[in-house]
Homo-oligomer: A and B are copies of this chain.
């Protein structure tokens, strides 16, 4: 992690969304691990199954500890599938866990996160919380006050870092970063942006607002040239190159 900032490659979409996110090339974990290695990413985010079979130790590993499919409707809940001990055995330098804030199962995930946090810190392993407000109570999950709430909840429950969605502009995202306090903020890459320019501008906005980095997936490994977009993202995230807003 350079200058305290870092670029992470997320590749747990096979469980979260299914193969509809994939094509012939990027459905192969080897390809994506290679992108992460060659693209100079500061970490790769995998479920334990893929880590076990494909991770080669070249860049830091973050193991996602819970997960769900997109098939189930209703209030979202994602439970622990992998223990901190397993993640460590796989070589993880950090672990991740998703909390669906506002879901009827929020209490289940907050409690489970609490135990994971305790366990991980006992082992000296940092914990990244994916804090995603979702469920019938959440009208707009990128509304500034909702994103700021997600950031703050991450700080309160002990996350070393939070992964949150971008609010759409640096001013409102700065408020979220402010509320995360000493908890580092990663912008969540989200679905493939309409244009690369749009995406780069969002990332630049998040970094200007104080995010320490970006956890990106589809916008990289769905790109025609993943290494090229990775290079551009590194310039923005690590070297803090600014992308101007549209005139």
Contact = CB atoms under 8 A, between A and B. Distances in A.
Contact of A138 (B71, B82, B103, B158): B71
A53 B73 CA distance: 37
Interface in A70-113: 71-74, 77-83, 86, 101-104, 106-108, 110-111, 113
Nearest to A72: B106
A71 B106 contact: yes
A48 interface: yes
A19 B148 contact: yes
A182 B83 CA distance: 22
A84 B45 CA distance: 29
A244 interface: no
A79 B175 CA distance: 28
Interface residues of A, number: 67
B80 A49 contact: no
B48 A158 contact: yes
Interface stretch (A24-32, A36-44, A185-193, A199-207): A24-32
Interface stretch (A149-157, A211-219, A221-229, A231-239): A149-157
A81 B155 contact: no
B178 A14 contact: no
A143 B55 CA distance: 31
A67 interface: yes
Contact of A72 (B86, B103, B152): B103
Interface in A50-67: 50, 52-54, 67
Interface in A136-178: 137-138, 145, 148-149, 152-159, 175, 178
B15 A152 contact: yes
Contact of A148 (B18, B73, B83): B18
3 tightest A-B CB contacts, nearest first: A71-B102, A81-B114, A49-B158
Interface of A: 12, 14-15, 18-20, 22, 24, 27-29, 47-50, 52-54, 67-69, 71-74, 77-83, 86, 101-104, 106-108, 110-111, 113-114, 117-118, 133, 135, 137-138, 145, 148-149, 152-159, 175, 178-179, 181-183
Given A19-B145, A27-B181, A49-B155, 13 more contacts: A14-B152, A15-B153, A27-B152, A47-B157, A47-B158, A50-B155, A54-B182, A67-B110, A69-B153, A71-B133, A71-B137, A73-B137, A80-B114
